[in-house]
């Protein structure tokens, strides 16, 4: 393991990834423009004491509604609910130093076959075949490029609904990246 790898493990283990409080008011114009261009609905919400701000953008696309949110204290989040007959669950997250330690003691996860991706992410799913097929080279490249923190796909079999939720870095400040994501 190189010195750089050791430094990254230490940073991931002991340095917060949320960046604490980060003023999102500077992103209002970008989010508003995206909402107008994509026929979305943009809202600004404050907490009861008016100390923190949350940006919420809902974007209709075909029969779906994408919900984006980011606040002074929470990272950028993408969320979509949709109908699904697929019985599938997936949790993908950054692999931190603690996860690496647990792997030495037997924790297992799904490997996609891309070394950079497999070293960056911990993947949990009951269906490794579907999971491996889901992660195309395009998806892998996009997740790595944008340093996506987590992706979760959960199915509610009773009502045949699914939710896809993704949490992304708090450092995205340009319109083109948000639209691409």
Instruction: Return the pLDDT at 31.
Output: 92
| 104 band by pLDDT with thresholds 50, 70 and 90 | low
| 100 band by pLDDT with thresholds 50, 70 and 90 | low
Instruction: Return the pLDDT at 119.
Output: 86
3-state helix, strand, coil in the chain (%, to 5): 35, 30, 35
Instruction: Return the pLDDT at 157.
Output: 83
Q: Kindly compute the dihedral angle of the four CA atoms of residues 109, 114, 115, 119, in this order, to the nearest 10 degrees.
A: -40
**Residue 61 burial class via C-beta count within 10 angstroms: exposed 0-12, middle 13-18, buried 19 and up:** exposed
Give CA–CA dist 96/149, Å, rounded: 11
List, for residues 23-38, the tens digit of each pLDDT value: 888 889 999 999 999 9
Instruction: Return the pLDDT at 73.
Output: 85
Instruction: Return the pLDDT at 16.
Output: 45
* pLDDT at 103 > cutoff 90: no
* pLDDT at 55 > cutoff 70: yes
In whole numbers, what is the pLDDT of the chain averaged over residues?
Answer: 82
Instruction: Return the pLDDT at 19.
Output: 53
| Token representation of residue 27 | 């992103």
**Closest listed residue to residue 141, CA positions, set 180, 97, 88:** 180
Is residue 87 within 8 A of residue 79, CB to CB? The reply is no
Give CA–CA dist 10/8, Å, rounded: 5
* pLDDT at 172 > cutoff 70: yes
The Cβ of residue 151 has, within 10 Å, a number of other Cβ atoms equal to 21
Taking residues 80-97, report their average pLDDT.
Answer: 85
Say which DSSP state 99 is in. Answer: H
Highest mean predicted confidence (pLDDT) among 12-16, 109-113, 161-165: 161-165
Selected residue with higher pLDDT from 42 and 24: 42
């Amino acid at each position: 393991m190189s010195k750089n790898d050791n430094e990254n493990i230490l940073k991931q283990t002991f340095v917060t990834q949320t960046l604490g409080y980060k003023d999102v008011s500077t992103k209002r114009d970008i989010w508003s423009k995206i909402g107008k261009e994509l026929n979305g609905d943009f809202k600004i919400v404050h907490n009861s004491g008016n100390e923190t701000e949350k940006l919420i953008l809902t974007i209709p696309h075909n029969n779906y509604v994408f919900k984006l949110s980011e606040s002074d204290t929470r990272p950028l989040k993408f969320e979509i609910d949709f109908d699904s007959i697929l019985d599938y669950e997936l949790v993908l997250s950054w692999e931190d130093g603690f996860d690496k330690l647990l792997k030495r003691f037997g924790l297992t996860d799904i490997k996609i076959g891309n070394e950079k991706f497999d070293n960056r992410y911990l993947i949990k799913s009951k269906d490794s075949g579907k999971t491996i097929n889901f992660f195309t080279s395009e998806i892998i490249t996009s997740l790595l490029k944008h340093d996506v923190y987590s992706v979760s796909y959960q199915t509610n079999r009773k009502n045949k609904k699914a939710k896809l939720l993704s949490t992304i870095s708090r450092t995205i400040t340009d319109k083109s990246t948000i639209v691409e994501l």
